[in-house]
Amino acid sequence: MQSELMPNFLKKRAFLTPDRVAIYFNDESITFKELYNRSFEIAGKLQGLGFRQGDFTGVLLRNHLDTVIILFALQLIGIRAVILNNRLTPTELSWQLNDSKARFLLLEPSFSNVIDSMDSSLKCITKDQLFKATMVHPMIQEEVDLLDICTVMYTSGTTGNPKGVIQTYGNHWWSSVGSAFNLGLMEQDCWLCTVPIFHISGFSILMRSVIYGMTIVLHESFDVERTLQDIEEKKVTIMSVVSTMLTRMVDRLGEQRLPEYFRCMLLGGGPAPLPLLEACVEKAIPVFQTYGMTETASQIVTLSPEYSLAKLGSAGKPLFPAQIKVELEEGVLAPEGKAGEIIVKGPNVTTGYLYRPDATANKVKNGWLYTGDIGYLDSEGFLFVLDRRADLIISGGENIYPAEIEAVLLAHPSVADAGVIGIEDEAWGQVPVSFIVKNIGMNPSQEEIQQFCMEKLAKYKVPKQIFFLESLPRNAAKKLLRRELRELVNEGRVER
């Protein structure tokens, strides 16, 4: 394919609006020019340490101003960032680093305990070591090819190991453009980021900041008091949230309201419950519900607030550069109102999975991404998502695939068979629970199984309850019937 060249995003932004505030973090603020200068310096230190254009490097960092500087430094010299979820275990992180063929791992000093689990060929550099390194004059990438890989984020598969989603510079550019056309763009816009930068929801805010010339307020994590305070003090106009965060904000506001200049609560991580939407209408909080994924570089379908109640449960309509269709199993278009697989297309959609040509060919056909999600379009073209990737559990905005947990459970010597589903949870939306068939003569406790999982899975993936059964419900093809497991829980026919 022919190259599509653009000026380096950060360098161009620093030239256009050098004195505009780029980021507020804690008590510090820096302009776009300062962001460029500091990223330029770190780029020189990276090259001094042996980083070369085209390398893949793991990034295991917290929400912090330093992280933003490092991520843009990597872009300045054409390094491909494999952005790692810092809630994963060393085993999970090591697998992703090996799979991506990363040469380096940049990490927080507080995460250095993971180094022992890493392959000896991987060069691990803490943030402190990087900042103290000798700087050489960096060879800056003056232009970026929109077809080049910018970042890789791993997403769990319904079977087997996670896959590295390729995100090109073009994916991030068109995601930003589509979002601007959808939400509008105002000179005084200021985006509050309390979601993790290692998620596409957080990283996309950084990219929009540089592309739009928009100030962002970065928090290390979500704190309801600090969030409401900064919306007032920093004149925040937009914020990305999941339902649990929005619920806490609404509860904390009580009889108060957000300032009039606040214009968009971008809500991801699954549809919002009706009582929450009604409370937001009552408080004049504009909620834009969205549907998106790592493969679409953030949202690809969005529901504007004027439809939030009239189209309750809908994810909305596709962003301007994007298209959606719903297909039946035979590959024909589903008529309105009939459920099928959601497929999406657009310049923000991934070109495929890293080193996975078969998975790419299976999921991306003629530019259309087959999401595996089930939904339908109504007569006006609004998308309703019925089931996210069939068995996906969404817990506090985190995606959890049962197959990954089941693989760990089956590695326990006492477990003969295992199944996992998500159940409703007031705090997190959903949490995973597991069903286990014990090996003959074995009698493991729930605590023993959970402790085993804690060593191999991120905490949010560990089953919150474990039910012991004589056998699991399976069909003739031995496929696990998760709906029957849900019925067991709903009807109270299982005990721990």
Measuring CA to CA, which residue among 153, 233, 151, 156 is closest to residue 192?
233
Given a contact cutoff of 8 angstroms between Cβ atoms, the answer to whether 187 and 213 are in contact is: no
> Which residues partner with 163 through β-bridges?
155
What type of residue sits at position 264?
C
Name the E strands within 194-333: 215-218, 238-242, 264-268, 287-293, 298-303, 314-318, 323-327
pTM of the model: 0.85
Q: In 49-167, which ranges are continuous DSSP H helix?
A: 65-76, 90-99, 127-132
The owner of tokens 């003629």 is 366
Alpha-carbon distance 89 to 460, whole Å? 11
Given a contact cutoff of 8 angstroms between Cβ atoms, the answer to whether 247 and 203 are in contact is: no
Residues 6+ apart with CB under 8 A from 313: 271, 384
Q: What is the pLDDT of residues 167-218, one digit of tens each?
A: 999 999 999 999 999 999 999 999 999 999 999 999 999 999 999 999 999 9
Written as six digits, the tokens of 433 are 């629970």
Classified by CATH at the fold level, domain 393-490 comes out as GMP Synthetase; Chain A, domain 3 (3.30.300)
Q: At 22, give phi and psi (nearest 5°).
A: -90, -45
C-alpha dist (Å) from residue 92 to 119, 161, 189, 268, 457: 13, 10, 38, 25, 7
Q: What is the pLDDT of residues 366-413, one digit of tens each?
A: 999 999 888 899 999 999 987 666 677 889 888 787 877 887 898 898
Cα 258 to the center of its chain, rounded Å: 26
Written as six digits, the tokens of 258 are 């957000």
Alpha-carbon distance 361 to 368, whole Å? 11
Q: Counting Cβ atoms within 10 Å, is residue 233 exposed (0-12), middle (13-18) or buried (19+)? A: exposed
The owner of tokens 């530019």 is 367
Domain ranges, ordered by start, for the chain? 5-384, 393-490
The owner of tokens 């653009």 is 6
What type of residue sits at position 9?
F
Residues 6+ apart with CB under 8 A from 467: 433, 434, 435, 436, 488, 489, 494, 495, 496
Alpha-carbon distance 52 to 46, whole Å? 8
- The H or E element spanning position 175 is helix 169-183
Q: At 225, give phi and psi (nearest 5°).
A: -65, -50
Q: Give the three-state DSSP class for 77.
A: coil
Alpha-carbon distance 492 to 479, whole Å? 23
Q: What is the pLDDT of residues 71-101, one digit of tens each?
A: 999 999 999 999 999 989 898 999 999 999 9
Q: Per residue of the chain (496 residues), what is the pLDDT tens digit?
A: 788 999 999 999 999 999 999 999 999 999 999 999 999 999 999 999 999 999 999 999 999 999 999 999 999 999 999 999 998 989 899 999 999 999 999 999 999 989 988 888 999 999 999 999 999 999 999 999 999 999 999 986 555 689 999 999 999 999 999 999 999 999 999 999 999 999 999 999 999 999 999 999 999 999 999 999 999 999 999 999 988 899 899 999 999 999 999 999 999 877 677 788 889 999 999 999 999 999 999 999 999 888 988 998 899 999 999 999 999 978 899 999 988 899 999 999 999 999 999 999 999 999 999 998 888 999 999 999 876 666 778 898 887 878 778 878 988 989 988 999 999 888 898 999 999 999 888 999 999 999 999 998 999 999 999 999 999 987 645 567 888 898 888 887 776 5
Measuring CA to CA, which residue among 100, 61, 99, 64 is closest to residue 79?
100
- The pLDDT assigned to 156 comes to 65
- The pLDDT assigned to 487 comes to 87
5-384 is a CATH 3.40.50.12780 domain: yes
Residues 6+ apart with CB under 8 A from 197: 61, 63, 67, 68, 71, 83, 203, 206
Given a contact cutoff of 8 angstroms between Cβ atoms, the answer to whether 10 and 76 are in contact is: yes
Alpha-carbon distance 493 to 8, whole Å? 59
